[in-house]
Structure 1
Amino acid sequence: MDIYKAGSRPTRRANEEWFTGTVLQDPVIEAPEPARVRALRVEFEPGARTAWHTHPLGQTLHVLSGVGLVGLRDEAPWYIRAGDTVWIPPGEEHWHGATPETGMVHLAIQEAQDGQVADWLEKVSDDDYLMPAD
């Protein structure tokens, strides 16, 4: 058994190649093989978001605080709020982040396949991000 004490692993700024705006990540778990689970606490400042991406085995988002957005190709994004849980199937192109006015924190849970958890694509355009949400 491993116990990771609070504050023992540093917060890191998300990779600017795959995120727009200020996004901070705190590791929750990167389980050793044969386990595949990976989880991060991700904090998005207002206006911050991921790039388009997919996950080989899908992804679960659980919103911890704030109001955010999650979007699919050629569709208006959906609002997500504290307490909401989102399942994104394997291979589905999507993005997620804060609204323009409100920050959002979520837990991102995914599994690695051959060591990979995501396939990163291009950044989300302002037109896609600012499309009226449902």
Structure 2
Amino acid sequence: MNKYIKTIAILTGSLFLITACNSNDEKKQENMNADKNELDAIFPKGEKGPSDFFTGNAYNIGLVDVDSVFTTAVGNVFFEPGARSNWHTHPSGQILIITDGVGYHQIEGQPIEIIKKGDVVKCPPNVRHWHGASPDVGLQQLYIVPNTENGIVDWQEAVTDEEYKKQQN
């Protein structure tokens, strides 16, 4: 009987340790997920973009201000699902680095491209284009505008719902 009680005690203790370890692993996983969520939001959301330049909710924060030394503007834009920029051009072009989400980019006269986390998009100088989120998933991007001494952006008309929905057909 003594052997039986020892075996039960060992099994009970082992079960307790396994449960405690699993609980600790779950807490570690929750902490890792919380850390990951914080990493997904690398930059502050920024200010809501004006409806004169965006359809839907897009938020911009400048990260590198224009100056005469670097002559480059860098910022972060977060597009909520369905949000997009107007058609626009940049005198010296623009580079987009997609840091999260799924969206669209279109150069005038070309098909809409799907863009997602990890993609790099080059918008040539003085070429009309637009970019924004997909209908169901937001998009976060870094923008780089070089040679700002030539100008930064020429905003034009809004991308129509028909133009935007061409990707979905």
Query: What TM-score does the superposition give when structure 1 sets the normalisation length?
Result: 0.87
Q: Note if contact 1:54-1:120 (Cα within 8 Å) is conserved in structure 2.
A: yes
Q: Note if contact 1:56-1:113 (Cα within 8 Å) is conserved in structure 2.
A: no
Q: Secondary structure of 1:117's partner? A: coil
Q: Secondary structure of 2:163's partner? A: helix
Structure 1: runs of 5 or more not aligned: 1-5
Instruction: Report whether the alignment pairs 1:113 with 2:146.
Output: no
More strand by share: 1
Q: Which runs of 4+ in 1 moved over 3 A?
A: none
Query: What TM-score does the superposition give when structure 2 sets the normalisation length?
Result: 0.70
> What does residue range 1-134 of structure 1 map to in structure 2 within 5 Å?
11-111=46-146, 112-114=148-150, 116-132=151-167
Q: Note if contact 1:68-1:103 (Cα within 8 Å) is conserved in structure 2.
A: yes
Report which structure shows greater RCO (CA 8 Å, sep ≥6). 1
The alignment covers a number of residue pairs equal to: 127
More helix by share: 2
Q: Percent identity?
A: 33
Structure 2: runs of 5 or more not aligned: 1-41
Mapped partners of 2:128, 2:142: distance in 1: 19
